[in-house]
Amino acid sequence: MGLKMPKAYSDKLKRDITVEEAVKESIKEDIFCTSKECRIPLTLVGAFMRNSSLVSAHFKRRGREEHKNCDYNTLGQINIAARDSEGALASINAKKYSLRLNLISKAIKNSDSSKKKESTDVDIDNTKQPTKNYISSGKISAYLATMKKIMQIKSKIENEKELRSLIEIQFNDNNIKWSDFYFEFDDYEKCFSKLMNNKLDYPICIEGEIKNFERATENFSYHTIKLKLKFLGENEDGKNKFASVSIWISDENIFEKLKKDFESGKNHVAFCSNMWASRVDRTSEFLNITGKVYNMKQIYMY
Ligand SMILES: [Zn+2]
């Protein structure tokens, strides 16, 4: 198990090298994990296409030996996320965790700033009158941080099977399949259909490449991040059909921060929200998927 690594330790050069350097100089031998405690042998993987998106060059484990005490150990990363998760990622046994989407769903709802005042009042009154919807902001933060960590791990992982074997996803006592929880570029149309049929009534994650940032206008009060359109061919009327994912953000600071990250070169994003679908049929047909981001911890840029 392991995550894709951007750096490796070269035994020949006695220093860490970047993946760009390894590609350029075609260094494929005698490279190891950058962590001194780990140093398992690595190999260089050149860039390749997967699901119509480019997987950039990276290092991965040469053999089957697991990373030890280092940041690239997937299970280790999940252990850390679980420890800090306030129960959102609960251990089933030493090698299996359950992600509780009910908690994530509530945390997202409570992050909605339009409701913030209300939840603060509830916080203060909590000792007298615990309400059904009460969760402290500390827990909200921990739940969403857990979600972000999972998106981060997912975006770096060599293959999804790994996560499937480590994390089980639960919502209202139902087990949710990974493929009904995390959607990549090639899954947009499937995601749209499931949303249209009300089959995804829990928070889901979508990842993709960012197309642009659009500021709120007089007529539209949300800032928007648009992801790259997925072309789906022609529809029955001969019009081009696209799947389109949008992230709506009302908080100016969050929008500005993300825009800065984008301008500094992070052009991929994964975000988690309760999403909805809508179809627009004009000169082209658009299958729109939209979700709101209220909190930085719902979104991960890379
Ligand atoms: Zn390692």
Domain C-terminal end among 17, 37, 61? 61
Q: What is the pLDDT of residue 121?
A: 47
Tell me the pTM: 0.86
Q: What is the pLDDT of residue 79?
A: 93
Query: CATH no. for residue 257?
Result: 2.40.50.140
Residue list, CB under 5 A from ion ligand 1? 33, 35, 38, 67, 70, 72
Q: What's the total number of domains in the chain?
A: 2
Distance from the CA of 136 to the center of ligand 1, in angstroms?
36
- Whether 210 maps to a domain, the answer reads yes
Q: What is the pLDDT of residue 51?
A: 72
Distance from the CA of 68 to the center of ligand 1, in angstroms?
6
Q: Is the dihedral of CA 265, 141, 183, 3 positive or negative?
A: positive
User: Over its length of 302 residues, how does the chain's per-residue pLDDT go in tens digits?
Assistant: 567 888 999 999 999 999 999 999 999 889 999 999 999 999 999 988 877 778 889 998 898 888 988 888 999 999 999 999 999 999 999 899 999 999 999 999 998 876 555 444 445 544 555 455 667 889 999 999 999 999 999 998 877 888 999 999 999 999 999 999 999 999 999 999 999 999 999 999 999 999 999 999 999 999 999 999 999 999 999 999 999 999 999 999 999 999 999 999 999 999 999 999 999 999 999 999 999 999 999 999 99
9 contacts 164 by C-beta, under 8 angstroms: no
Residue 229: name the closest of 216, 243, 241, 240 by CA.
Answer: 243
Distance from the CA of 67 to the center of ligand 1, in angstroms?
4
- Whether 137 maps to a domain, the answer reads no
- Whether 95 maps to a domain, the answer reads no
- Whether 115 maps to a domain, the answer reads no
- Whether 138 maps to a domain, the answer reads no
140 contacts 110 by C-beta, under 8 angstroms: yes
What's the CA gap between 43 and 8, in Å, rounded? 9
Domain range for 41 is 7-61
What's the CA gap between 33 and 17, in Å, rounded? 11
Residue 156, classified by CB atoms within 10 Å of its CB into exposed (0-12), middle (13-18) or buried (19+), is: middle
Distance from the CA of 183 to the center of ligand 1, in angstroms?
28
Distance from the CA of 4 to the center of ligand 1, in angstroms?
11
Q: What is the pLDDT of residue 114?
A: 64
Other CB atoms closer than 10 Å to residue 100's CB: what's the count?
21
DSSP string, 100-116: EHHHHHHHHHHH-GGGH
Residue 205: name the closest of 285, 141, 146 by CA.
Answer: 146
